[in-house]
Structure 1
Amino acid sequence: MGTGHIEVSDGSLYYEAVGDGPAVVLLHGGLLDCRMWDDQFELLAATHRVIRLDVRSHGRSSTATGDFRHDDDLAAVLDTLGVDRVALVGLSMGGRIAFDFAVSRPQRVWALCAAATGISGMTFTDPYVLDRYQEMGRAAQERDTAAFVEAFLRAWVDGPHRRPEDVAASVRVRCADMAANNATRHATAQGRMLERDALHRLGEVTAPTLLVIGDTDSSDIVDVTQRAVRDVPGARRVEIPGAGHMINLEQPDAFNTVLLPFLQEQSP
């Protein structure tokens, strides 16, 4: 397995690469890191060249010191690794990055799977999520990492329709560990995350696109997924019962059963 850091503007990104075949990049959610893809990383390596990375201000990558674009960072990683075209598999913020890359560099994407996705240009309106964001902001100001992480878990692991005890403890523990690491390691992050306003450019996506969503996710994610299914040419939507926002962690078998055939169908 290849692993290390790749230089990008004002920093470096941690990556891991394994396997041979058509290239697939796994993009993690916000406040998480590439470990969230442990199951899929090993599974896909049997048939693909699989790359996963910690995006800027996450995991083992550099903390942002100024304005940046995640899709530019991704392009730098691919260029360094000598990868021309990829399938992008992203969850939440990872899906958001995937859409930005797909509209800015459509010729480099042979397939796109966005799970519980955000899309740049969207507005969050779900009262439950907005309340949790306020809690996260207060906790950050007070430097209360435990409260910050718990508010994050309530927003994006439990979600608006479940209590903490309704979610597998192992999933909450994994997400809490990643979030706490990011909250402490990258607390000094500066600058803006610049984006491509992909919500209003969805018609420019040329790659075959699969949208995956859990049946207990927030209204914002449901709405933006429906928008993508409507506006991305030929896009398909699959709903996974019993899953919230962290689909691949909560329901890995169901997620893999959807993802693998999609990639096999589209493989160049």
Structure 2
Amino acid sequence: MAHLDVPGAVLYYETAGHVSGPAVLLMHAGIAHLRMWDPQVAALATHHYVIRFDARGFGRTSVDDVKFSARADAVALLDHLGVERATLIGCDRGGLVALDVAVEHPDRVAGLVTIGAGPSGFPEVELSDAEDALFDSLDQAFNANNPEQISRLEVQLWAVGPLRQEADLDPHFLATAYAMSLDNIEHFTEHPRPQPLDPPASDRVVDITVPALVTVGEFDLTPALAEYEYLLEVLPEASGCRFRGVAHLPSLEHPEEFTRVLVSWLARNNL
């Protein structure tokens, strides 16, 4: 178990592979923690130095209720491990942070992979009626201060999605998604205050010139699908992949396919 002291927090992190390999930094989704990358670590560690950590408010990281920069946390971990440049791989909120880091610290980023993620400052996208209904239920759970219900509804919203039924999905995937979300309940009373990138990344990602792989699940929410199209259009060196039959967590729901796409893309780009 490895920890890094940063201002206002103790970050929990794990590494795999040899330090001489090209580094990849894995950043998890907002309904998960670093365990979401378990299916990918072994394959990546064959040729890469794999770094992953629990962000503030998640997993085994402990925090104080202070202002902080998620970007600074990621860079501090790279500094601590002696990594000058890494390929950043982020899902959901992790992808947003990866884009922010690429904008703020371009010298630290060798490549970029986003999964169901968009840049900070991206304009609001109109939701479907089914998505609106799920968000309304989530709002009610927040108003009732019911963390267990919030946790379950977030999985239903993001991992299952409004267009699918749980009965049609792989039980192991569902159990894993629910377990990770429930793990984060202990952080429900914490209130670290992330400081946004200013100006935000939405109008600045055009300056990201490293190779980028932009991905999304077929059944992800409307905003994630819109962000996918936007990033493909504006990132100068972007290629895209839309994973069929999955929602917000393709790396966990269809891990073999996702890993194959990721490893192949890393090899093609010498990352």
Q: Would you say the 8 A contact 2:28–2:90 is kept in 1?
A: yes
Separation in structure 2 between the aligned mates of residue 190 and residue 145 of structure 1, nearest angstrom:
14
Q: Would you say the 8 A contact 2:95–2:117 is kept in 1?
A: yes
1:8 aligns with 2:9: no
Aligned match of 2:216: 213
Aligned CA RMSD, in angstroms, stands at 1.6
Three-state SS of the structure 2 residue aligned to 1:211 is: strand
Q: C-alpha displacement at 1:103, in angstroms? A: 0.5
Q: Residues 214-246 of structure 1: CA distance to partner in whole angstroms, max 9, x if unpaired? A: 111111111011111111112111111111111
Q: C-alpha displacement at 1:44, in angstroms? A: 0.6
Separation in structure 2 between the aligned mates of residue 190 and residue 134 of structure 1, nearest angstrom:
22
Percent identity reads 31
Q: Give the gaps of 5 or more residues in structure 2.
A: none
The residue type equivalent to 2:224 in the other structure is: I
Q: Would you say the 8 A contact 1:67–1:193 is kept in 2?
A: yes
| Larger deviation, residues 190-199 vs 11-20 | 190-199
Identify which of 253, 258, 261 aligns with 2:256: 253
Aligned match of 1:151: 153
Q: C-alpha displacement at 1:69, in angstroms? A: 1.6
Identify which of 243, 247, 259 aligns with 1:244: 247
Query: If the length of structure 1 is used for normalisation, what is the TM-score?
Result: 0.93
Q: Would you say the 8 A contact 1:57–1:64 is kept in 2?
A: no
Counterparts of 1:108-127 in structure 2 under 5 Å? 108-122=108-122, 123-127=124-128
Identify which of 141, 166, 169 aligns with 1:167: 169
Q: Give the gaps of 5 or more residues in structure 1.
A: none
| Larger deviation, residues 50-59 vs 233-242 | 233-242
Counterparts of 1:92-131 in structure 2 under 5 Å? 92-122=92-122, 123-127=124-128, 128-131=130-133
Q: Would you say the 8 A contact 1:158–1:166 is kept in 2?
A: no
Query: If the length of structure 2 is used for normalisation, what is the TM-score?
Result: 0.92
